[in-house]
Amino acid sequence: MGKLHIVGGGAIGSLIAASAQKNGVPYDCYPRNIKTMPAYAQWQDGQSIALKPAIPAPVVLEKDDVLILPLKVYQLNAALIQWLPYLSRKPTVVLMHNGMGGLEVARDLLGRDYPLLLATTSHGALKENTSCGDFQVKYTGLGVTQIGAPNLAAPSPQKLADLLQVAPQLANAIAALDSALPPVQYRSDILKALWTKLSVNAVINPLTALHNIQNKHITKPEYEQSRIAICNEFTQVANAYGLDFDARSAHENVLSVAKATGENYSSMHQDVTYGRQTEIDAINGYIVEMAKKKGILVPENTLLVERVKALTN
Ligand code: PAF
């Protein structure tokens, strides 16, 4: 099995590293800032797992290695440019982020036939500053990682066993990820899974950030009009690109994720709270951009982009 090389010191990257450590899967971490890389992970049962010391700079990867980029979309371009000289043997690259736009960045830099996996995860993790001044990551909710191979010629193989025949390198990378942080589900229609996650983020993230509330509160009647408008616009745009969504089901799914993650503060809420750049451009901004190309009007999403940007300016 190749090694997992995890870029960035964020919550999800650190969780994958900690879980790899726990399950005996070889890995290394490459945070941007070694000082803010979590030293420990706190499991839900109270177990504490110490992470390996991080590596300060990229190294040449082998073909069976897996480069995982659990970064924000706006960080992806710089990270891939930094890693490009080390990818000549074409190791598998895995993108894992909220929102959309990462695939386009990766295709521009690596080419359309690069061995690439796109993933979305519902595992919950929180990076925290400890009283000793270092960082730890807390595993806040068991989830699932969905993954697919967008650069394979369509139609994508239906099952992982079929993928193993067509693209063994990618199937083995998925198996390595599943050994590190299970469960990992192969999706032949990964773009549908990513658009589904986009619909969830497009409602929960801006509403929680703008109204300074936990996820569960967006289910209240006072946000119903906005929720429905976002889902209607989302559905029009997604369907214009050949996806098959229904606004009512999209809305029901948003409500069920908001309830299941009810006590959480969304990632956008946290970004606003800590004065960090938000992912609004990759979420509601992506819907607005895709709508423009098809001549669809999306006033609710447009307004949310403006209002969230105004919060962080
Ligand atoms: O961005 C987030 O916070 C998460 O993707 C989600 C699903 C909204 C839960 O908090």
Q: What is the pLDDT along the chain (313 residues), one digit of tens a residue?
A: 789 999 999 999 999 999 999 999 999 999 999 999 999 999 989 999 999 999 999 999 999 999 999 999 999 999 999 999 999 999 999 999 999 999 999 999 999 999 999 999 999 888 988 888 889 999 988 899 999 999 998 888 999 999 999 999 999 999 999 999 999 999 999 999 999 999 999 999 999 999 999 999 999 999 999 999 999 999 999 999 999 999 999 999 999 999 999 988 999 999 999 999 999 999 999 999 999 999 999 999 999 999 999 998 7
Q: What top-level class would CATH report for the domain 4-188? A: alpha beta
Return the closest-CA partner of residue 225 out of 303, 289, 309, 306.
Answer: 303
SS3 252: helix
**Alpha carbon distance 70, 73 (integer Å):** 9
**Alpha carbon distance 121, 201 (integer Å):** 12
SS3 222: helix
Task: State the pTM of this model.
Answer: 0.95
Chain segment 206-223, per-residue pLDDT in tens: 999 999 999 999 999 999
What stretch(es) of the chain map to CATH 1.10.1040.10? 191-308
Tell me the H-state helices in 24-159: 73-83, 102-110
Name every protein residue with a CB atom under 6 angstroms from any ligand 1 atom: 98, 200-201, 204-205, 215, 257, 261, 264, 266-267
Which candidate in 22, 197, 294, 309 is catalytic?
Answer: 197
The CATH number, out of the four listed (1.10.8.10, 1.10.1040.10, 1.10.3720.10, 3.40.50.300), of the domain defined by the range 191-308: 1.10.1040.10
242 sits in the region (left: phi over 0; alpha: psi -120 to 50; else beta) called left
**Alpha carbon distance 19, 180 (integer Å):** 6
Tokens 């982009």 locate to 305
Tell me the H-state helices in 145-189: 160-166, 168-180
Ligand 1 centre and the CA of 258: distance in Å? 8
Question: Which residue's alpha carbon is at the smallest distance from atom 6 of ligand 1?
Answer: 266
What stretch(es) of the chain map to CATH 3.40.50.720? 4-188
Ligand 1 centre and the CA of 137: distance in Å? 16
Contacts 24+ apart (CB under 8 A), 156-164: 156/188, 156/189, 156/190, 157/188, 158/188, 159/186, 159/188, 160/186
Give Cα separations from 57 to 4, 8, 14, 116, 303 (angstroms).
15, 11, 17, 22, 41
Kindly give the number of the ligand 1 atom that is closest to the alpha carbon of 215. 10
Ligand 1 centre and the CA of 197: distance in Å? 9
**Alpha carbon distance 183, 25 (integer Å):** 15
